[in-house]
Amino acid sequence: MVRIKEIPAPAVRRLSLYLRHVELLSGRGERTVSSRQLGEALGLTGAQVRKDLSHLGSLGHPGIGYRVDELIVRVRRILGTDTSRNVLLVGAGNLGRALVSHRGFAKKGFHVVAVFDDDERVVGSTLDGAAHLVVRPMIELADTVRKKNIRMAILAVPGESAQSVAEQLWEVGVGGILNFAPVTLRHVDCAIAAVDLAVHLEQLSFRLGNSRVG
């Protein structure tokens, strides 16, 4: 039994990257991959790869490396994405609409099954590319979370409403929030992942400056 509480956060982040890469290999018909190959593809040492994957229990086969299909199953199981999960979205603006139709989510087993907004002009309308989703008023939140067994939410509301919505999500028992609002959420005892889009541009900016200097 793997004691997943003991996997360091950076290793958990890399598990997602390993998974992406071995899914790609699987799609190409590859059957095995070595720690060195995985490391080269992701810019890590083979030793780092072996250390990270040792958290998944015994997996490597001497002289063969890792079996691609076995690796995919184990990583998905540890990430909790081996079964599909129902997710709700709050905020039916441009970003929310884009996220609902984002094919990357469903491909990874995350299904947006409900959309909420507190704007009366939007409530009751349907979304392009997701006509089965009718935008619901916030007052139906608790009921929907219970009926659809939802534990994760995507927060795509303006910064000024984000904290209050996060508190409502926490109160109705949502355990994880993916926050796109450009504010830090406080006083909610959920797992929170923040998507700070400007950070990515900053990192690009650094690499541009770097290549100019180099």
- By CB under 8 A, name the one of 94, 131, 149, 186 that touches a second copy: 94
Evaluate whether 111 touches 81 at the Cβ level (below 8 Å): no
Strands 152-155 and 126-127, how do they pair? unpaired
Cα 155 to Cα 107: distance, rounded to the nearest angstrom: 20
Residue recorded with tokens 């905020």: 91
Q: Which of residues 146-175 bind a second copy (CB under 8 A)?
A: 151-152, 154, 159, 175
CB of 61 to a second copy, least distance (A): 25
Q: Which of residues 33-52 bind a second copy (CB under 8 A)?
A: 43
Residue with smaller CB distance to a second copy, 30 or 64: 30
Q: Which of residues 53-82 bind a second copy (CB under 8 A)?
A: 78-81
CB of 70 to a second copy, least distance (A): 19
- By CB under 8 A, name the one of 16, 45, 126, 164 that touches a second copy: 16
- By CB under 8 A, name the one of 70, 108, 133, 137 that touches a second copy: 108
Give residues in contact with a second copy (CB under 8 A): 4-5, 9, 12-13, 15-17, 19-20, 24, 43, 78-81, 85, 87, 93-95, 97-99, 101-105, 107-108, 110, 128, 151-152, 154, 159, 175-178, 182, 184, 191, 193, 195-211, 213-214
